[in-house]
Amino acid sequence: MKLKTKKMINPKTIKTARGYRLKPETHALISKIQALMKSDQDRAISAACTLLHDELKKNITLIIK
């Protein structure tokens, strides 16, 4: 009789080291965003960039019109 085994799936995604050199003030802001979101640095930075991008798109659209 064969037993079915479940594959162990690692919940963490594979991340590539990036080596960014950021100012201490930037690290502090990222830490604050992480705390608000209860997430890791990658998600915090991605969310912040997405929000900034959306705001820039809105403002550029207003300026062009």
pTM score: 0.62
Give CA–CA dist 3/24, Å, rounded.
53
- Tokens representing residue 49 in the block: 């960039």
Is residue 33 within 8 Å of residue 48, measured between CB atoms? yes
For the chain, the domains span: 25-64
Model pLDDT, residue 40: 92
**What SS3 state is found at 29?**
helix
Is residue 47 within 8 Å of residue 37, measured between CB atoms? yes
Model pLDDT, residue 21: 86
- Tokens representing residue 61 in the block: 């659209």
pLDDT tens digits along 6-58: 555 556 666 666 677 889 999 999 999 999 999 999 999 999 999 999 998 88
Model pLDDT, residue 29: 94
